Amino acid sequence: MKINKSYVCEKLGRTLNFLPDRVSFCCSYAEGPGLKYEKGMTLNLKEITKSEMQFIKLLKNGKIPAQCSGCIDYKEKKYNNFFEFLFSKQSSMLINEIIVNHFKQCDCNCVYCSQKIIWGDETQQNYELLPIIKELFKADSIDKNNLKVEFQGGNVSVLSEFEPLMQEFLNNGCKYFTILTNGIKYLSVIEKTNSMSGIIFRLIISLDSGTKETFAKIKQIDAFDEVIKNIKEYGIKTGAIITLKYILIKDINDNSREVENFLNLAKELRCIHSLCFDIDYRDILFDKSKNFKVLVHYGDLIEQARKFCMENRINFVLLPYAEQYIENNKKV
Ligand code: SF4
Ligand code: SF4
């Protein structure tokens, strides 16, 4: 019997991205397959696995799910004969990446926040994640030694499940954590992990400014001093690898003076591993022409930051989407 085209995606089955309205099965740039969450439904491992298997089977039978369209991660797979096709399974299906992104509560109100645009004003948190994680561990579905956990959100400091979730991951021997936060509240749980060997904690703090005034304009809250105090404490009391983030926002912080203030501040703090630059994605979301271009002077601001980081031995990061838009401008 002739085997028609068959595909496999190595990411499918290894990532669980918990969103407010669904569990996505990968973290792809395409929308990605997932299980929709309906109010009142019980999200459990059985439901997640059942839904995931449908997508794996579709690919195996040569059909590209609409959610994977345009993605570069599925690959064609060849089988020697029909029996191999029939009985083959995707190799290890242990989960090695969990993204905690099912909540949208936050204690500030950034002007660039796309959460409300994407999820709406009312969305906060539709389900509890801790019981699902406990079930995954109980069923031995997680690759504990290699699991990467990323807390996105919202802001974890207002997620009531945050500490219990952290405790569950730590109790199970997980070691790799990334937390995206606005830095307004000190997360003492990070300190507690200091005495545990092998834990790698990455902390990404969105500061977006170098002065109190600009911070208040962007975050719409007067909390600059608290954030700076907390960054210093993380530097002294924890082994966290700290990244400060700067999103370029039109007419607010997209000028050389503010970028310079931010760079100097990062240097003075003496505990910053990386500076990460990005663009304001509202500009793309609201661009009706679908021909979005970043402002030309963003390229100069990025070069200013890149040069400063090189001279001061701070790691410089420009996120791929932002880089793509800035490079496109150079070609014009
Ligand atoms: S092919 Fe792409 S979109 Fe589909 S599951 Fe794999 S990574 Fe996700
Ligand atoms: S910290 Fe994040 S979630 Fe909170 S308002 Fe700012 S962008 Fe939105």
Q: Which residues of the chain have pLDDT under 50?
A: none
- pLDDT at residue 332, rounded to an integer: 57
Counted residue by residue, the chain has a size of 332
Pocket of ligand 2 (CB under 6 A): 106, 108-110, 113, 115, 153-155, 182, 206
pLDDT at res. 2:
64
CATH superfamily to which 97-331 belongs: Aldolase class I (3.20.20.70)
Predicted local confidence at residue 153, as pLDDT? 81
Question: Among 101, 102, 150, 155, which is best to mutate for testing ligand 2, by the most ligand atoms less than 8 A from CB?
Answer: 155
Cis amide bond preceding 13, omega within 30: no
* Helix spans in the chain (H): 45-60, 82-87, 115-119, 130-138, 162-171, 189-192, 212-219, 224-237, 256-269, 282-285, 298-311, 320-331
- Domain coordinates of the chain in residue numbers? 7-87, 97-331
Q: Give dist(CA 67, CA 114) in Å, integer.
A: 22
pTM, two decimals, is 0.89
Q: Check residue 288 and give its pLDDT.
A: 65
Rg (CA), the chain: 22
